[in-house]
Amino acid sequence: GVFGSMLSTPIINPPQSAILGMHKIIERPVAEKGQIVIRPIMYLALSYDHRIIDGSEAVQFLVVIKELLEDPARLLLQI
């Protein structure tokens, strides 16, 4: 993220209905096929007004953002 934070919770400011926080990319150990490997990790945080946005739709949005960030060619080629 802009401020170099690893994780935070963005705050909605009226009249916003949602805000997406994208944080610093850091290398972290993860389990992959039974092995510990180092991978770049970036946390996403979505704050939203539950009166306007349903939680399941917010999660679906985050999943799409995650998939596009993991495979930027999809975003660039619009596939």
Q: Report the catalytic residues.
A: 50, 54
- In the block, residue with structure tokens 């993991």: 70
